[in-house]
Amino acid sequence: MLNWLLLCVPVTLALEYLAPQQHLAIFIAAAIAIIPLAGWLGKATEQLAERSGEGVGGLLNATFGNATELIIAIAALRAGLHDVVKASLAGSIIGNILLVLGASMLCGGLRFKEQHFNSEGARAEASLLTLAAIALVLPAVYMMRAEEAPVLLGKVQYLSNAISVVLLLVYGLFLYYSLVTHKALFAGNRQEDSEAVDLWPMGKAIAILAVATALIAWVSEILVGAIEPSAKAFGLSNLFIGVFVVAILGNAAEHASAITAALKNRMDLALSISIGSSLQVALFVAPVLVLSSLIIGPEAMNLAFTSGLTLTMLLAVLITGQIAGDGRSDWLKGVQLLAVYLVFGMAFFFIPAIPAP
Amino acid sequence: MLNWLLLCVPVTLALEYLAPQQHLAIFIAAAIAIIPLAGWLGKATEQLAERSGEGVGGLLNATFGNATELIIAIAALRAGLHDVVKASLAGSIIGNILLVLGASMLCGGLRFKEQHFNSEGARAEASLLTLAAIALVLPAVYMMRAEEAPVLLGKVQYLSNAISVVLLLVYGLFLYYSLVTHKALFAGNRQEDSEAVDLWPMGKAIAILAVATALIAWVSEILVGAIEPSAKAFGLSNLFIGVFVVAILGNAAEHASAITAALKNRMDLALSISIGSSLQVALFVAPVLVLSSLIIGPEAMNLAFTSGLTLTMLLAVLITGQIAGDGRSDWLKGVQLLAVYLVFGMAFFFIPAIPAP
Amino acid sequence: MLNWLLLCVPVTLALEYLAPQQHLAIFIAAAIAIIPLAGWLGKATEQLAERSGEGVGGLLNATFGNATELIIAIAALRAGLHDVVKASLAGSIIGNILLVLGASMLCGGLRFKEQHFNSEGARAEASLLTLAAIALVLPAVYMMRAEEAPVLLGKVQYLSNAISVVLLLVYGLFLYYSLVTHKALFAGNRQEDSEAVDLWPMGKAIAILAVATALIAWVSEILVGAIEPSAKAFGLSNLFIGVFVVAILGNAAEHASAITAALKNRMDLALSISIGSSLQVALFVAPVLVLSSLIIGPEAMNLAFTSGLTLTMLLAVLITGQIAGDGRSDWLKGVQLLAVYLVFGMAFFFIPAIPAP
């Protein structure tokens, strides 16, 4: 039924070329169009992963799992909208651990009194998130200090590049850890979910992957171009749109998978999807964007998030570690994560549409 | 023997009307008078709870358990002393988890080498505290940013109202969780403590509840009026008086109960009293005050604590989660919580009597 | 083979008196000379501890375990270089938990798939570290606020003195806890490591202790005098030299012991060395320096670290608690701690050689 939403793809393209002033309509159509496209991209990735054997398959999932976010972010990067890129990265990180994991724990908890998952795997992911949050705090501190010591401003880019390399290295080692040396801690991961899935022919998977990617890239460019005027039309800040609207779009399909897994009492899978996606964005998508910006331009992007976003990520990671650390979940844990997400949403909602400090 | 302190009630009233300039004497008399009144209020609440069956009884305890704090805070609110209200709320939150829980763990630990409690219940309470601390950080951040973007100043009240509604909702759901769906995690709670208590007639309980409430309200108004001149007389800031003096008064009776429970090796009860009281203040008393201030005036109160108080609450919650998370306690854990409380006390003590930044 | 490095001792002295302008050469020679001296000091301390029985021995280790740091810091204190002292204290705290513990977990994890240690002891140490980090945040906050309220500037020293007394008290109680009342939680501590060690005569141990101490003190004075010109020569800030160079020197011998212990699958010992050293610096060395500065001058030192160092310590303590809290380690945990250390190192490396804000 998600496929009906695919109708928004031609609608978006038609609007963009026939009624380019209808920013709000374009934004909404493009936003909805991305949801089923992201779903198909995810399905095609899984199919390829399935056919590639466990190791390479895990790597494929880990690399292309957030392809939609990456494509949207590259579109915003090329448009020079660094603040939108950062807002959607931060939104994706906190959205996956608060909204997706929270909704999974709540829905699962409404059906089962108590659910369990491998606490060692969850702890490993939680401490990697803390590592990422710490790494993202430092460039933000540079920017805050730059008022007193303007020379720091020139150093933020060097620091961001260096941190990006470290994060990518850590991500590579984490993949080696979770796919090779300690895969038992991540039992119940995506591969095992495939019992009932019938395999596509290889060619079909590749074709769908290619088409979905191309369409997402096209629609993303249109979406990004409509963000600023639409934000004005809604009376919202770019920041709010980036953190809470753009970030949710590319993850919509994964939201559904995580909740479905929780309802089947497969919390390991639900955690792997939710926390795993946050990790991917923080340790892979963000550094890849920083390093690509050096090449594809138009100007280099650093890792300095606004202090508000930095604080938000740090606090989100803190409470996630506390809630996911003991290997059990129930409905109240879900409520807590959702409440934190709601509170953050309200805080960004009331920020008026001015350049974020 | 606490009842001898009741003599301070008439003394307070006499001083207030015969020697209204003796602010310091009035402050001390009122402060002492509140201790036994709070004790009687607590006892009457428990009696009513006892007679009301488990569910309603738990609700009564959860709602009126911090009635004294609420009454003092309303008196300060009506006097327009928002900084005193916030200081006493913050003081109550950190005092219950650092001073009361610390003293309980220390005293219990001196008698027993190691004590145990249900770690799942403790973790649920600790993560709710983290949630509350996160919610309270956001309005404080708005205020800090307001220098650069004055438009935020007008939004703090909207954000505070919205956060208050979320906190009350979470508190309601937590009561449902701890009293209905997952009450096994909170075994050893107040109800079970009543073996040796003889029941009062219903009328007596209600009468005592009414008289104690009325007297606390009266004495609180007098106490609040004497804070500012007494702070000057002591050479202390309003802030210190609010955080460390006013906040301790209303909880004195609960301090005693928590330590008694720890000495009987009933750590679940001690935690339920100490962490539970902090939770009640953060998730129930504070939002109720914000929302009532919209009605009873004189002017609306927001949730923006000073940055010092916000940091203090966040750090207190952080170490409490670390210390209470593993379901065991010993005397060193008590020492650590008390040391943190002492260090905070010193930091506020050395702040001179100027308007807090 | 470390003993060959002792040749740097006469080289340092020769350079200092024959070629006092060769600051860089002097700095390097002194830095290398300290490594074997610290090793001998450590060995002599252990020998004395061995002969003193368990309780007094543990006390000796706990007091003189960081004697090298203490001596270097006193040399810098007497030279009035408070920023170098603080940088090396902070560097020692974060270096022991991130670099030493990280390297131990990584090396141990490369040999063993999973290693275990007493999680209760590790948690007790981690929460003490949190306590120390909280205590060190407060004077830093005073300094940050001093711009708005200059009167706070005069109070920082009082607050620092008071906090120092509390920290020493907590350290004393922790020794009593770990050596007397709860020593079972710290099984596998240094005493048990001595199977293969042959005992020295008492006189030899004392003589070596005295000679090593005297030489370290001498070389430290020379080292400290060369820091500022060397930092300029390297184009680095005093801060970077203090945090990442000076701090590593005095701990070099302990680095080796911790890694050796991890390779023997004795993680309790590795944790006791690494986290224990951080604790010693935070709860013993730092407050002793503050209180001695009141006596030995030239001017009183406070506990107000720069906000960057304070944040660094807080975040380092946060992730250490998360990683060490569950009583198991593997290579990825080591990688994470090392990555955080590396990221901090880069952040300080890019700070230009200006007075730290």
Q: What is the mean pLDDT of chain A?
A: 84
Q: Is the pLDDT of residue A335 over 90?
A: yes
Q: Do B346 and C162 touch (CB under 8 A)?
A: yes
What's the pLDDT band for A355 if we cut at 50, 70, 90?
very low
Average pLDDT (C308-312) is: 91
Q: Would the pLDDT of A352 be above 70?
A: no
Q: Look at A336 and B155 and tell me if their CB atoms are within 8 Å.
A: no
What average pLDDT score do residues C262-274 get? 86
Name the pTM for this structure: 0.89
pLDDT at A197: 59
- Residues from chain A that touch B162, judged by Cβ atoms under 8 A, are 346, 350
* Interfacial C residues in 55-114 facing A (CB < 8 Å): 113
Q: Is any Cβ of chain B less than 8 angstroms from the Cβ of C117?
A: no
Amino acid at the residue A256: A
pLDDT band (50, 70, 90) for residue A290: very high
Q: How confident is the model at residue B356 (pLDDT cuts 50, 70, 90)?
A: very low
Strand A115-116 to strand A328-329: parallel, antiparallel, or no bridges (unpaired)? Answer: antiparallel
Q: Residues near A351 by Cβ (< 8 Å), separated by ≥ 6?
A: A237, A239, A240, A308, B152, B155
The pLDDT value given to residue A1: 61
Six token digits for residue A178: 């979770």
pLDDT of res. C355? 46
User: Quick one: average pLDDT of A81-93?
Assistant: 88
Judge whether residue A193 has pLDDT over 70: no
pLDDT at B30 over 60: yes
C62-74: per-residue pLDDT in tens?
A: 677 778 888 888 8
Tell me, what's the pLDDT at A53?
65
DSSP state of C188: S
* CA distance, residue C2 to nearest chain A CA (Å): 32
Give me the residues paired with residue B329 across strands. Answer: B115
pLDDT classification of A189: cutoffs 50, 70, 90:
very low
Would you say residue C322 has pLDDT above 60? yes
Neighbours of chain C (3+ CB pairs under 8 A): A, B
Pick from C134, C145, C148: which is nearest to B319 by CB? Answer: C134
How far is the C-alpha of A313 from the C-alpha of A335, rounded, in Å?
Answer: 18
Q: Can you tell me the mean pLDDT for B207-224?
A: 85
Please check the confidence at residue A58 and state whether its pLDDT lies above 70.
no
Q: Do B357 and C163 touch (CB under 8 A)?
A: no
Residue A181 tokens, joined: 């040396």
Cβ atoms < 10 Å from Cβ of B269: 25
- Among the partner-chain residues A126, A138, A145, the one whose CB lies closest to the CB of C343 is A138
Is residue C9 pLDDT above 50, yes or no?
yes
Task: List the single residue in A130, A159, A174 with the smallest CB-CB distance to C319.
Answer: A130
- Indicate the range of A127-131, B138-142, B202-206, C285-289 predicted with least confidence: B202-206
**CB C333 to CB A131 under 8 A?**
no
Residue, of C222 and A185, whose pLDDT is higher: C222
> From the CA of A59, how many Å to the nearest CA of chain B?
34
pLDDT in tens, C85-119: 888 899 989 999 999 999 999 999 999 989 998 88
Residue C168 pLDDT class (50, 70, 90 cuts):
very high
- Contact assignment for B308 to C141 by CB distance below 8 Å: yes
Confidence at residue A190, expressed as pLDDT on a 0 to 100 scale: 46
What tens digit of pLDDT does each residue of B119-149 get? 888 888 899 999 999 999 999 988 888 777 7
Shortest alpha-carbon distance between residue B177 and chain A (Å):
7
User: Chain B to chain C, count of Cβ pairs less than 8 Å apart?
Assistant: 84
Instruction: Report the share of chain B in percent with pLDDT over 90.
Output: 26
**Judged by CB atoms within 8 Å, which residues 150-169 of A form the interface with C?**
151-152, 155, 158-159, 162-163, 166, 169
Nearest CA to CA, how far is A23 from chain C (Å)? Answer: 42
What pLDDT is attached to residue B164?
95
CA-closest candidate to residue B58, choices B280, B253, B247, B212? B280
Helix or strand (DSSP H, E) at C116: strand C115-116
CB spacing of C332 vs A182 below 8 angstroms = yes
Q: Which amino acid is at B36?
A: P
* Most confident region among A158-162, B273-277, C120-124, C233-237 by mean pLDDT: A158-162
The alpha carbon of residue B267 is apart from the nearest alpha carbon of chain C, in Å, by: 18
Q: What is the pLDDT of residues A206-239, one digit of tens each?
A: 888 888 888 888 888 888 888 888 888 877 777 8
Query: Which residue in A169, A170, A185 has the most chain C C-beta atoms within 10 A of its own C-beta, making it the best mutation to test that interface?
Result: A170
What pLDDT, on the 0 to 100 scale, is given for residue C54? 61
- Which site among A312, A315, A329 would you substitute to test the B interface, given the most B Cβ atoms closer than 10 Å to its Cβ? A315
C-beta atoms of A336 and B162 within 8 A: no
Q: Are A340 and A318 in contact (CB under 8 A)?
A: no
- Please state, rounded to an integer, the average pLDDT across all residues of chain C: 84
**Confidence bin at A255 (pLDDT 50/70/90):** confident
Residue B53 confidence class, pLDDT cut points 50, 70, 90: low
How many Cβ atoms from other residues are within 10 Å of residue A183's Cβ? 16
Amino acid at C233: A
Give the chains touching A; criterion: ≥3 Cβ pairs < 8 Å.
B, C
- Checking if the pLDDT of A49 tops 70, the result is yes
Cα–Cα distance for residue pair B217/B6, rounded to 1 Å: 15
Residues of C in contact with B350 (CB under 8 A): 142, 152, 155, 158-159, 162
pLDDT at B190: 46
Residue pairs between chains A and B whose CB atoms are closer than 8 Å: 85
Chains touching chain B through at least 3 C-beta pairs below 8 angstroms are A, C
Measure the CA–CA gap between B326 and B323, rounded to whole angstroms.
Answer: 7
Residue A334 to residue A102: CA distance in whole angstroms: 4
Residues contacting residue C294 through CB under 8 Å, at least 6 positions apart:
C161, C300
Nearest chain C residue to B349, by CA: C159
The ipTM value here is 0.88
For residue B352, the model assigns a pLDDT of 67
Q: What percent of chain A is modeled with pLDDT above 90?
A: 26
Hey, are the CB atoms on B351 and C131 less than 8 Å from each other?
Answer: no
Cα dist. A94→A233, A277, A286 in Å? 26, 10, 14
**The pLDDT value given to residue B334:** 95
Residue ranges and CATH numbers for the domains of chain A are 3-349 (1.20.1420.30)
Question: pLDDT band at residue B189, thresholds of 50, 70 and 90?
Answer: very low
Segment A261-279, tens digit of pLDDT: 889 888 888 888 888 889 9
Point out the least confidently predicted range of A90-94, B284-288, C48-52.
C48-52
Torsion sign across C-alpha atoms A239, A243, A248, A249: positive
Given a cut of 80, whether residue C148 has pLDDT beyond it is no
pLDDT on residue C191: 46
